[in-house]
Structure 1
Amino acid sequence: MSTSYKSPLHEMASTTPTDFWNDSCSISELQYALEYGAVGATTNPVIVGDVLKKEMPLYKDRIKELCSEMKTGTEDDIAWKLNEEMAVAGAKLLYPIFEKTNGQNGRISIQTNTKYYQNPDLLLEQAVYFGTLAPNIQVKMPTTKAGIWAFEEATYQGVSINATVSFTVPQALAVAEAVERGLERREQEGKDTSTMHPVCTIMVGRVDDWLKVIAERDGIIVDPVCLEWAGVAVMKNAYKIYKEKGYRTQLLAAAYRNHHQWSEFIGADMAMTIPHKWIKRFNASDVTAEKRIDKPVDPKIIEQLTKHFPDFIKAYEPNGMTVEQFDTYGAVTRTLLQFLKGYDDLIGMIRDIMITVK
């Protein structure tokens, strides 16, 4: 690493087209990430709950105020209001980057209610509303069958989307095609798309997680190294196809489990949303910030994964799944359940304060 850069992440952000974001709505964590070149941030129910657990003294008085202000509000109403305020606070911090890049960076993502994963109309309604919270808001919706429809409609209405609960090449391609349809409809009506910036997440670490669950469940023996590269292989294949097709959606890597899920994507025109603990690990590492996106995953790894895991084929091959199959893919259902539990935990924290407010 050159002595002119603070860390490998800072060098990557300064010298390559690869962006990184802070995977948290914590202001202190976002400020730290910005020092090293971060240009965005993301939230979800689990993240909001984790921030509250770690930083409750910063938010407890505000929650009490909301309880007083929203006298007939439910704990859900207060939780969503707090969620929105956290996103808006992050948006203010990122706004100078947003202005400087004409909307291509400097955004924070806020996630729609996971309970709407099967309801396209509710996803769209909440997405359009979230888009009014700040100019640099990006709206996360799940890559389910309902989500694919909502991505097109929200894009058409001018919302910059972030497709989440996404793990596979078929999902990433369906998202990109939906966004293209939405953008084209806007452009046909003379509406501006120049400041819009849609992204599609691939939760690379959760691809590995799911195959490890299958290996344990079914007693499958493979070289354990293979199970650390599945998500990387999926992302590299999706990126190659995105470049070939010229999609205007940017890929976004998420869900970190090892450094390959960062270092193997350096040099790509993509973003990475990285949790604070991994930002600090990567900053402290001796991994070099060299271009690796075009380096293929070892074919022997692809061969083993393909031989033993039909669910890897579903994730890796462009035609591995239909849109109708997205909702029942194992990594999708596991993540939806985690997000729903994270929301329940968040509501529980709000309820504890709400019930005891005097």
Structure 2
Amino acid sequence: MSENLNKLTGQGVSIWLDDISRERLRTGNLEQLIREKNVVGVTSNPTIFASALGKGDAYDAQMHDLAVRGVSVEEAVRAITTYDIRWAADVLRPVYDATGGVDGRVSLEVDPRLARDAEKTVAEARALWWLVDRPNLFIKIPATQEGLPAITQALSEGISVNVTLIFSLERYRAVMDAWLAGLEAAQAKGLDLAAIESVASFFVSRVDTEIDKRLDQAGKPELKGQAGVANARLAYAAYEEVVASERWQRLRAAGARPQRPLWASTGVKNPDYSPTLYVDQLVAPGTVNTMPEKTLDATAARAAITGDTVRPFYEQAWNTMAALKEAGIDYDDVVAVLEEEGVQKFEASWDELLESVTKNLVP
């Protein structure tokens, strides 16, 4: 195992792989990454599935059977994606058992076209939870304004949730409030709170991409590459405030476990930046870093894991955000643009997935 990955795990960071494919599963590659690279979880999204279906022949046999049965395209997509997620959950089950249900998790996202409809999102979450039927599943629900009540409802029914597409500190606080409300409702129903897990996926690199573009336009290139890390560090500060609250402490006493911050979108988009920027600069206990394999390999080879790189830098993070504001960066507009783009990108990937299945759904 890599010394860097061991150091990262030792600092309380769970390493998850931001990728899944049937080829990775059937070749034993995921098991290898668990053994050799400290991987203890997997995330997926429509883009990942669209890419997986476009490569190789791993899905051909199932696609043929679905075509023979005459299923609809949408039913075929559900069958294909839940098959992979169920398989990955079984591969990760020993990790789930060894960590008492904290890690060994696999995430599956609801249809992103439902991101603005809470009722349909909850209905889809229930369906996917039932279809996969594994305790180490996370249902991914986007953190849109309409997604917040869906998060609460799903958690109140005992469905473990990975809240995705979080960009702003304000929305992150609303996500944590929705999470607490869900646990309180679950407790009122008499559910076992210890069995309900959640993570909150706070996106990092996309923040830099959008703000760097605006900094170039404002003639302030010296501030580039700082916003993503600063924003995430302040998110962790907000998390610490919530887990110190009396409201959380009451739930914790009843057996609940914290909604861990998850650093998402940690592959750098700018080749001028260190490939491990969003790993070694966001080390904090009780977090998850979900990495594309390229970032995982770079972390194993050359990350500088020196200890906690979040909590000692809160003041620096606030100063960075203040400097960005002074440079004319409208933070509220940035995060609104990123959320809308995020939903649109996942919808486009979903459409690509549907198109790919349509082409291949032949007897």
Contact 1:94–1:106 under 8 Å retained in 2? yes
Query: How far apart are residue 309 of structure 1 and its match?
Result: 4.5
Q: Which residue of 1 aligns with 2:117?
A: 119
Query: How far apart are residue 29 of structure 1 and its match?
Result: 5.0
Q: Which residue of 2 aligns with 1:319?
A: none
Q: Which residue of 2 aligns with 1:110?
A: 108
**Selected match of 1:280 from 297, 307, 313:** 297
**Selected match of 1:245 from 239, 242, 246:** 242
Are 2:198 and 1:198 equivalent residues in the alignment? Answer: yes
Query: How far apart are residue 138 of structure 1 and its match?
Result: 0.3
Contact 1:151–1:161 under 8 Å retained in 2? yes
Contact 1:152–1:181 under 8 Å retained in 2? yes
Q: Which residue of 2 aligns with 1:304?
A: 323
Q: Match of 1:6, as an amino acid?
A: S
Are 2:233 and 1:236 equivalent residues in the alignment? Answer: yes
Q: Which residue of 2 aligns with 1:21?
A: 16
Equivalent residues in 2 for 1:256-267 (5 A)? 256=266, 257=268, 258-267=275-284
Query: How far apart are residue 255 of structure 1 and its match?
Result: 0.6
Contact 1:12–1:266 under 8 Å retained in 2? yes
Per the normalisation by structure 2, the TM-score is 0.86
Change in Cα spacing, 1:139 to 1:286, as seen in structure 2 (3 Å) is closer
**Selected match of 2:6 from 10, 21, 28:** 10
Query: Using the alignment, how far apart are the partners of 1:290 and 1:178 within structure 2?
Result: 31
Equivalent residues in 2 for 1:1-358 (5 A)? 5-13=1-9, 15-26=10-21, 27=25, 30-34=30-34, 35-54=36-55, 56-69=56-69, 71=70, 73-132=71-130, 133=132, 134-215=134-215, 219-224=217-222, 226-246=223-243, 248-256=258-266, 257=268, 258-296=275-313, 297=316, 301-312=320-331, 329-354=336-361, 357-358=362-363
Query: How far apart are residue 232 of structure 1 and its match?
Result: 1.0
Contact 2:230–2:318 under 8 Å retained in 1? no
Query: Using the alignment, how far apart are the partners of 2:61 and 2:3 within structure 1?
Result: 37
Contact 2:140–2:162 under 8 Å retained in 1? yes
Query: Using the alignment, how far apart are the partners of 1:222 and 1:9 within structure 2?
Result: 35
Q: Which residue of 2 aligns with 1:323?
A: none
Once the two structures are superposed, what CA deviation does each residue of 1:100-126 show, in whole Å capped at 9, x if it has no partner?
A: 222211110000001101110110011
Question: What is the Cα-based RMSD across aligned positions, in Å?
Answer: 2.0
Once the two structures are superposed, what CA deviation does each residue of 1:32-79 show, in whole Å capped at 9, x if it has no partner?
A: 43121111111110011122234x32222221222223x1x2222211
Indicate the SS of the match to 2:42. strand
Contact 1:108–1:136 under 8 Å retained in 2? yes
Q: Match of 2:95, as an amino acid?
A: I
Count how many residue pairs are aligned between Structure 1 and Structure 2: 333
Give % identity: 21
Query: Using the alignment, how far apart are the partners of 1:249 and 1:311 within structure 2?
Result: 29
Change in Cα spacing, 1:37 to 1:244, as seen in structure 2 (3 Å) is same
Query: How far apart are residue 189 of structure 1 and its match?
Result: 2.8
Query: Using the alignment, how far apart are the partners of 1:298 and 1:266 within structure 2?
Result: 14
Once the two structures are superposed, what CA deviation does each residue of 1:307-344 show, in whole Å capped at 9, x if it has no partner?
A: 134433677xxxxxxxxxx8xx1001111111111111
Change in Cα spacing, 1:29 to 1:10, as seen in structure 2 (3 Å) is farther
Change in Cα spacing, 1:351 to 1:102, as seen in structure 2 (3 Å) is same
Query: How far apart are residue 193 of structure 1 and its match?
Result: 0.9
Query: Using the alignment, how far apart are the partners of 2:5 and 2:305 within structure 1?
Result: 9
Query: Using the alignment, how far apart are the partners of 1:284 and 1:262 within structure 2?
Result: 13
Once the two structures are superposed, what CA deviation does each residue of 1:217-242 show, in whole Å capped at 9, x if it has no partner?
A: xx212134x33121111111111121
Long gaps (5+) in structure 2: 249-257, 269-274
Indicate the SS of the match to 2:166. coil
Query: How far apart are residue 299 of structure 1 and its match?
Result: 6.0
Long gaps (5+) in structure 1: 316-325
Change in Cα spacing, 1:109 to 1:286, as seen in structure 2 (3 Å) is closer
Change in Cα spacing, 1:80 to 1:215, as seen in structure 2 (3 Å) is farther
Once the two structures are superposed, what CA deviation does each residue of 1:253-272 show, in whole Å capped at 9, x if it has no partner?
A: 01121422111122331101
Once the two structures are superposed, what CA deviation does each residue of 1:270-301 show, in whole Å capped at 9, x if it has no partner?
A: 10111111111111115235321223146653
Change in Cα spacing, 1:222 to 1:300, as seen in structure 2 (3 Å) is farther
Indicate the SS of the match to 2:193. coil
